[in-house]
Amino acid sequence: MTDLYTDAYAAARDAADPLREYRDAFHIPLHNGAPQAYFVGNSLGLQPKAARAHIEQVLDKWAHAAVEGHFTGDAQWMTYHALVRDGLARLVGAQPSEVVAMNSLSANLHLMMVSFYRPEGARNAILIEAGSFPSDRYAVESQLRFHGIDPATALIEVEPDQADGTFSMQAIEHAIAQHASRLALVLWPGVQYRSGQAFDLAKITQWAHAAGAIAGFDLAHAVGNLALQLHDANADFAVWCHYKYLNSGPGAVAGCFVHARHAHSDRPRFAGWWGNDEAVRFKMGTDFCPTPGADGWQLSNPPILGLAPLRAALDLFDRATLPALRSKSAALTGYLEQLIDADLRDVLQVLTPRDPAQRGCQLSIRVIGGRARGRDLFDHLAANGVLGDWREPDVIRISPVPLYNTFADVLRFARSVQEWRHG
């Protein structure tokens, strides 16, 4: 414990960090004139310093070229969304044609369910995890009702079967097999937002397909956090946001994956002009001819100002590389876990799985003693420049992000908890 809790130990770990330079690529919020220990990248990532230049490039072109900015100079707006395509594909383990940046996460989820949730007779159920993020549950329930189906009978919620509130893979497999004849869609998170548990997407896809169902994923807490291989996992579709680990700003343009086997799909979809084949788009014809691949699910022309910060973020991921980031993430989160185990187990209970393969950056932590005590600690941390986030009724989420968090940040969290305990 003594070594773990020393400045020298944390400083040595930071000095040996091959990714330490990337912290300087971000604006770190200040608290009383000093940098915060910011652990809320799982909610809103910090601003890359390079984002401003990309936004100003768009603003300057708008000022000086106006509508001609669509077709002239660097980063032309007509093809601007393609500037992030390759980076996104590398990030999620996809072919470039399988990904697109568009809309918001929930809007994309609805668009995907329009095409991939196709109830037929008794096969009309959707399986999700109990305690899913509210937006996902609202979307699923509204889709069921849109089809005239009662969620009370067709919405299957798998309950966690582990004492810490997490799911065994056996429980997921069993639930899919149990309801196989009824399932039209399995919709599962890459990382469960409240517990921080990560899942094997390939296995869930395999089980869903064996049951005759579509496999879709909400990757809001997984993209930029875990090493994803969506194409090889054989997922049918996935949706995610870019304002968490992708550091692309509040309400950033979201992302979407559609597997290549659906590239020329005749599945029904809600169509829009920008999804029409670009070869004929400006002929303004009456017939919709979808662009092959994920681009074919686009509706309107992309929000260029919204996409600009994503370019800066993806450049950082390409330079740092996801394997290196994942390695540092495991080290940072492992250090947080070590500090808790060494001196804080009378105060904090870690809910996130101990196995690094079953988690990303986030540790979800319950404060022993109830909600009021938990809120008191949370407020103490914030008052001392250590920012996590709160999830009712009693969970503090702490997410050391490898692009900008340090071992010294993690030590600062643990020491602040110690101070509160002895306070």
Instruction: Write out pLDDT tens, residues 56-93.
Output: 999 999 999 999 999 999 999 999 999 999 999 999 99
Tens-place pLDDT, residues 90-125: 999 999 999 999 999 999 999 999 999 999 999 999
- Give the whole-angstrom CA distance, residue 204 versus residue 163: 22
> Do residues 191 and 160 touch, judged by C-beta distance below 8 A?
no
Q: Which two tokens stand for residue 75?
A: 């980063």
Q: Any idea what the Cα angle at residue 231 is, between residues 229 and 253, rounded to 5°?
A: 80
* Terminal Cα distance for the chain, rounded: 20
pLDDT of the residue at 231: 98
Q: Right CATH number for 54-318 from 3.10.129.10, 3.30.930.10, 3.40.640.10, 3.40.50.2300?
A: 3.40.640.10
CATH code of the domain occupying 7-47+321-422: 3.90.1150.10
Residues of the chain with CATH 3.90.1150.10: 7-47+321-422
pLDDT of the residue at 281: 87
Q: Which amino acid is at 113?
A: M
Q: What is the pTM of this model?
A: 0.96
Q: Which two tokens stand for residue 91?
A: 């990030």
Residues of the chain with CATH 3.40.640.10: 54-318
DSSP 3-state assignment of 315? helix
Q: What is the radius of gyration, based on Cα positions, of the chain?
A: 22
pLDDT of the residue at 6: 97
The sheet with strand 255-258 has its strands ordered as 99-101, 255-258, 237-240, 214-218, 183-189, 125-129, 155-158
pLDDT of the residue at 2: 62
Point out the residues of the chain with pLDDT beneath 70: 1-2
pLDDT of the residue at 74: 92
> Do residues 167 and 161 touch, judged by C-beta distance below 8 A?
yes
Cα–Cα distances (Å) from 159 to 35, 172, 191, 210, 364, in that order, read: 40, 9, 16, 21, 18
> Do residues 218 and 239 touch, judged by C-beta distance below 8 A?
yes
